[in-house]
Structures are given as structure tokens and as C-alpha cells.
């Protein structure tokens, strides 16, 4: 047996790939060149996790909301509890408040991920420190179905840092910028109400509103196409 196979086993799903997974395999990794920021469709999402160890922790829930340009669609939401592959940690339960009782109704990721991919379609993913969420989703897709997550993504933390460094109007409008870049510090600085922290769907809504705040300033500062938006790191 090759050494790597111990760490990167083959897919566990047997039979034909679910239609959304097969379709996702064919989705382009970048939007069309002529797509503007306002024309693009987005899915703003968040995950709750057993922890942040990229190798050993796992997904507890996925929450997401749809946007088109700066328009938020409160009815276009996705939320599922998922059966984790690793044990809950006491310190994690204090944060996300997902308990063993809650997980009694959780679903296997082999069922949740195809539905999530159907929800995403060809939209651009948006998240706060999005590389964390995309890593866990992509790892589980690879484990179960043998393909990785291919949707392009935008990080609101990176957008904030870019505006901090490049847009004085952004500074003046908000009377300065937040010294902290965690989601809840930014929400407080930029006037976003948040009453349910560390719930995947409510955090996705907070992230979507943060994205709404940033888009006008990004466009004024020269970020006008979806490709340019994705390139902000």
C-alpha cells in the first residue's frame, strides 16, 4: 500500500455520483470575464465545527444565504445539522451550543453535501476567513465523493483589509476601521446587529450584511468585476 493512501483514502460513496455532485465537477472555477460585481450571484455561508484542526476536526452544521450583487434574499437560505466524524469537545459546545441531543437529528454529510452543492449552483461563495470553511467542505467532499470543492470564493476578512489599506472614503464613512478582524468585532464596528453568535445560519447573515457594507466602497475603489473581487486576498 502506498504511504499516502493511509492519509488520503479513496472516496467512500458507492455507485453513481449524485446529480449535484456530478454537475459541480463540471462547474467552471471562475465566473465569466464580463460578469460585474453587481451581476454576480453569491452564496454567503458559514460552518460550525468540532474544532479548527484541519486534519482531525469535522463539520457540525452548514448555514448559507443567497445574494445577487448587494441584494440579500432572506428566504433563500440553507441550514443543516451534520453528523460529525469526530467527538464533540466541551470547549466547543460552549461556543456553538450544539449538543449530543441536537445531533440526534443530524444527517450524514453524504446527504447534506449534494443538497448544499445544489444550493450553491454556479454562485461565488462568500465567507469570513472563508478558507477555513471551504477547507472542511472540500475535504469531506474529497473523502466521500472523490472530488474537491471547485466554487470560487471571496473572503470578507480580506475585503476589509483591502479597504483598510486602499480606501480613505471607507475610513471616513465609518470614522475609522476596526482594529480586530473577527466577524463579531467587524459587525459591531459597521453597525450590524448580531444576537445569535456562532450559529452557522445567523453568522452567514452577519457575513452577508458585512459584504453588503463593503461592496459600494470596493466598486468605487476599482473592484468592478467578479474576477477582480475573487482576486482580493
Higher pLDDT, 179 or 21: 21
Chain mean position to CA 161:
18
Q: Which contacts of 185-192 are long-range, i.e. CB under 8 A and separated by 24 or more positions? A: 186/128, 186/156, 186/157, 186/160, 186/210
d(CA 60, CA 145): 19
Question: pTM for the complete prediction?
Answer: 0.90
CATH of 17-231, one of 3.30.470.10, 1.10.3720.10, 3.30.420.10, 3.30.70.260: 3.30.420.10
d(CA 208, CA 77): 12
pLDDT band with cut points at 50, 70 and 90 for residue 148: very high
Are residues 105 and 83 in contact, defined by beta-carbon separation less than 8 angstroms?
no
DSSP string, 204-227: HHHHHHHHHHHHHHHHHTT--BHH
pLDDT digits (tens, 9 = 90+) for 150-184: 999 999 999 999 999 999 899 888 888 888 899 99
The confidence score (pLDDT) of residue 52 equals 87
pLDDT band with cut points at 50, 70 and 90 for residue 97: low
pLDDT band with cut points at 50, 70 and 90 for residue 88: confident
Q: What is the mean pLDDT of residues 205-226?
A: 96
The confidence score (pLDDT) of residue 111 equals 95
- Pairing mode, strands 153-155 and 124-127: parallel
Chain mean position to CA 13:
24
3-state secondary structure at position 28? coil
Return the top range by mean pLDDT from 9-13, 65-69, 82-86, 89-93.
Answer: 65-69
Q: Which of 10-24, 84-98, 153-167 has the lowest mean pLDDT?
A: 84-98
Q: Which contacts of 74-78 are long-range, i.e. CB under 8 A and separated by 24 or more positions? A: 74/205, 77/201, 77/204, 78/43, 78/45, 78/115, 78/116, 78/119, 78/201
**CB atoms < 10 A from the CB of 126, how many?**
25
Q: Which of 20-34, 181-195, 213-227 has the lowest mean pLDDT?
A: 20-34
Q: What is the mean pLDDT of residues 107-134?
A: 96
Amino acid at each position: 500500500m502506498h504511504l499516502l493512501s493511509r492519509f488520503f483514502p479513496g472516496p467512500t460513496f458507492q455507485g453513481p455520483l449524485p446529480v449535484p455532485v456530478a454537475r459541480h465537477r463540471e462547474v467552471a472555477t471562475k465566473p465569466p470575464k464580463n460578469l460585474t460585481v453587481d451581476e454576480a450571484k453569491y452564496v454567503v455561508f458559514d460552518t460550525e465545527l468540532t474544532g479548527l484542526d484541519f486534519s482531525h476536526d469535522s463539520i457540525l452544521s452548514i448555514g448559507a444565504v443567497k445574494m445577487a450583487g448587494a441584494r440579500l434574499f432572506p428566504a433563500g437560505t440553507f441550514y443543516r445539522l451534520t453528523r460529525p466524524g469526530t467527538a464533540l469537545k466541551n470547549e466547543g459546545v460552549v461556543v456553538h451550543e450544539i449538543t449530543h441531543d441536537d445531533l440526534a437529528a443530524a444527517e450524514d454529510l453524504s446527504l447534506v453535501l449534494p443538497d448544499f452543492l445544489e444550493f450553491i449552483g454556479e454562485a461565488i461563495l462568500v465567507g469570513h476567513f472563508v478558507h477555513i470553511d471551504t477547507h472542511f467542505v472540500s475535504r469531506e467532499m474529497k473523502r466521500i465523493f472523490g472530488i474537491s470543492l471547485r466554487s470560487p470564493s471571496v473572503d470578507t476578512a480580506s475585503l476589509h483589509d483591502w479597504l483598510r489599506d486602499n480606501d480613505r472614503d471607507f475610513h471616513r464613512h465609518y470614522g475609522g476601521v476596526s482594529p480586530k478582524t473577527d466577524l463579531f468585532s467587524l459587525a459591531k464596528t459597521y453597525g450590524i446587529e448580531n444576537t445569535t453568535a456562532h450559529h452557522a445560519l445567523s453568522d452567514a447573515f452577519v457575513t452577508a450584511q458585512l459584504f453588503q457594507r463593503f461592496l459600494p466602497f470596493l466598486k468605487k475603489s476599482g473592484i468592478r468585476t467578479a474576477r477582480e473581487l475573487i482576486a482580493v486576498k
